[in-house]
A and B are shown apart, each in its own frame.
Chain A
């Protein structure tokens, strides 16, 4: 008999919940909704309710593919009815694209079943590690792009992201980790890293999203470095899909001029 584990709770109906955090595009100093990032949470009250613990656990179980599929199914279902049909950014492990032979079919079927155009999907690739089968990964990327899916690389600057990965994937969106963004006004080395990533994104034909903006000074710093896609508590905390598009009261549009 299989022992009951947290994984069973995660994959059970209602085990995962999805919050959304807006990514804003700054146009003429005003924040316009660019996309919603779907953020998974594990069963309420469990250790894996926290996303960091959830995905550490899932990776240690070697169940990235199953849980990624479950998160995507929940995210698409929750996002399908969001007014204005904004793009939805969903995290997926690089290993899932590499090993899940029918991932593209699964994503298409899931979107179709929820009446959502698959081209609304942005896939944020997380935890890029050394590939066992590089060809499968890039074949999946090609198939996804043919459907109109955009690719983002998450956690750029930390973890497993490398310049080689950036060049080979050439993501539409470069997501700079909060490590560099939060407090960047007071840290010239963080600003140097942001400038470097921004330059690389421009040369590779992508756009930069600054994650983890928590203050006006963070926001002013990244916009002064040419970044116009922003995400963080300064604008909006993750929330359930009710209404989006209105940035948090903290945000002062005049500051962006």
Chain B
């Protein structure tokens, strides 16, 4: 699993939880760092924050599109505090399978992963 999140506290909490759930977890805080990892490593699941730079850029969508190009089998979940329908539509169009608002309980993220992994198998 790859977690992509620029907020260290959130990233640490996600990492701790999913490591405890038995995932082998890598973390990235930048778009290019995430892309470099995805280009060199296969991940079953990538959970990415929509916005990584603190600007209005939507790096999470860039990551979703990158994954669809490089790694068809990877499931993509976008987390965001910005739940505008237009962005959700873009996320689906770019290849994200799930779009979850922040905060979403960690157990709910885990069950979304289970559902996506089940659908993939």
Contact = CB atoms under 8 A, between A and B. Distances in A.
Interface range for B: 10 to 19
A48 B54 contact: no
A186 interface: no
B7 interface: no
Contacts of A5: 30
B32 A57 contact: yes
Given A3-B53, A3-B54, A56 B28 contact: no
Contacts of B32: 57, 60-61
B36 interface: yes
Contact of A47 (B31, B33, B54): B33
B102 to A, nearest CB: 20
B9 to A, nearest CB: 16
A60 B70 CA distance: 15
Interface string B23-57: 00011111111011101110000000000011000
A4 to B, nearest CB: 9
B35 A47 contact: no
A50 interface: yes
Interface centre among B35, B53, B54 (most CB of A within 10 A): B35
Given A3-B53, A3-B54, A47 B39 contact: no
B54 A57 contact: no
Contacts of B54: 3
A57 B36 contact: yes
Interface string A52-84: 111011001100000000000000000000000
A57 B29 CA distance: 12
B33 A6 contact: yes
Interface in B37-81: 37, 39-41, 53-54
Given A5-B30, A6-B30, A47 B36 contact: yes
Given A47-B28, A52-B40, A57 B53 contact: no
Contact of A56 (B26, B29, B30, B39): B39
Contacts of B29: 6
Interface of A: 3, 5-6, 47-48, 50, 52-54, 56-57, 60-61
Which 4 pairs, one residue from A and one from B, show the smallest C-beta to C-beta distance? A56-B36, A60-B32, A57-B36, A52-B40
